[in-house]
A and B are shown apart, each in its own frame.
Chain A
């Protein structure tokens, strides 16, 4: 079961890699590609499985690329059973049901992973954006809706004024996606990270997306990335630490990409 899920996830990963190389950026197209690649991989897995099963059973491996021959061999397996589970050998309808469930366990992760690929793409430059994580974390706000509203209104002080020297149990992580070729396409992603110790004393964490891919100006993005935790206990003075600093330096908002 775990191997099947991993296989499906791997097919989804292959789909995402292919989508990235092919510069395909449509959620439905991605899902369709995930389905096709998952289905093709499942078919090939059956070809290999039957080859290995035939080699083990009859002493000679045969590739069943032809679907009618493949289904005939599958019917033979279904009639006789092939393996035990809980002391019983599933055959017939039970085995077909298991195979259908197996197919879903492969296809669903492949489709979902491909569908969820949403790296921002700079259309003018025909280029995927590159992701950079902020070096510092930020204090989690009490009101996340207000926090979102502030950032949407281009008021970034909830971030600049709440940079933390060291992560807290609940804090915000920010990432910037920016086009490597132009200054126009820049997006902000913010996650709320919770960290706690489980019963065994091991650190656990969970992430919730607060906002994903909000268009922001390149200057603010660079300023966020320039914030550095300083061992002496202050945020680095080399970077403008607040939104006001940026305004005083005369930055003007650019047209958002």
Chain B
């Protein structure tokens, strides 16, 4: 296999792009975290002993 013929990511990571990545990714993750917490609490809290 001739590696030079295949695409390789340049490794480019612009600072502004990284900021967008973190903001967008964390916002999406925040929404998912609410759903996950609701699923977790409804499936595990039935036998709470607190």
Contacts and interface: CB of A to CB of B under 8 A. Distances in A.
Interface of A: 3-4, 7, 10-11, 13-15, 17-19, 21-29, 33, 36-38, 40-42, 44-49, 51-53, 56-57, 76-77, 80-84, 89, 118, 120-121, 123, 148, 152, 177, 187, 211-215, 256
A18 B25 contact: yes
B32 A10 contact: yes
Nearest to B39: A3
25 contacts: A3-B36, A3-B39, A4-B36, A10-B28, A10-B29, A14-B28, A18-B25, A19-B25, A22-B16, A24-B14, A25-B12, A33-B25, A37-B25, A37-B29, A40-B29, A44-B30, A44-B34, A53-B41, A56-B48, A83-B48, A84-B47, A148-B1, A212-B7, A213-B6, A215-B6
Interface in B13-49: 13-14, 16-30, 32-41, 43-49
Given A37-B29, A45-B37, A83-B46, 15 more contacts: A7-B35, A11-B29, A11-B32, A14-B29, A18-B22, A21-B21, A22-B18, A22-B21, A24-B17, A24-B21, A37-B28, A41-B26, A44-B30, A48-B33, A148-B1
A18 B21 contact: yes
Nearest to B16: A22
Contacts of B28: 10-11, 13-14, 17-18, 37
Question: Which DSSP category, helix, strand, loop or mixed, fits chain A's interface?
Answer: helix
B9 A118 contact: yes
Contact of B26 (A28, A40, A84): A40
A42 to B, nearest CB: 8
B29 A82 contact: no
Contacts of B1: 148, 152
Contact of B12 (A18, A24, A57, A84): A24
Contacts of A44: 29-30, 33-34
B21 A3 contact: no
Contacts of B14: 22-24
A52 B49 contact: no
A24 B13 contact: yes
Nearest to B1: A148
A24 B18 contact: yes
A26 B10 contact: yes
A148 B3 CA distance: 12
Contact of A80 (B21, B26, B49): B49
Smallest CB-CB A-B distances: 6 pairs: A41-B29, A22-B17, A14-B28, A48-B37, A213-B7, A18-B25
Contact of B21 (A28, A33, A213): A33
A56 B12 CA distance: 47
B7 A187 contact: yes
A18 B23 CA distance: 8
Contact of A76 (B27, B40, B46, B50): B50
